[in-house]
Amino acid sequence: MTEHGVDTVLLDVDGTLIDSSYQHALAWHRAFRQHDLAIPMWRLQHRAIGMGGDRLVGGAGPVDG
């Protein structure tokens, strides 16, 4: 046990243990909103799921055609 009372830390970096896609979509939605961009939550949850931030920023916007 460490001085902080924690002896184990569990990291779930790929979403296998906890489905955190909603929390990620909400965080991106809030970040876009801070920059006056209205990206619907459904677009972030369904079209951008699994994208890295480098692809999500360009891929979450409106689709032409």
Residue 39's H or E segment, with its range, is none
pLDDT digits (tens, 9 = 90+) for 1-60: 567 788 888 887 766 777 778 888 899 899 999 989 888 888 888 777 777 788 888 777
Return the pLDDT at 64. Answer: 47
DSSP state of 46: I
**Domain locations in the chain as residue ranges:** 21-59
Q: Do residues 59 and 48 lie in contact, with contact meaning Cβ atoms separated by under 8 Å?
A: yes
Class of residue 39 by CB neighbours under 10 A (exposed 0-12, middle 13-18, buried 19+): buried
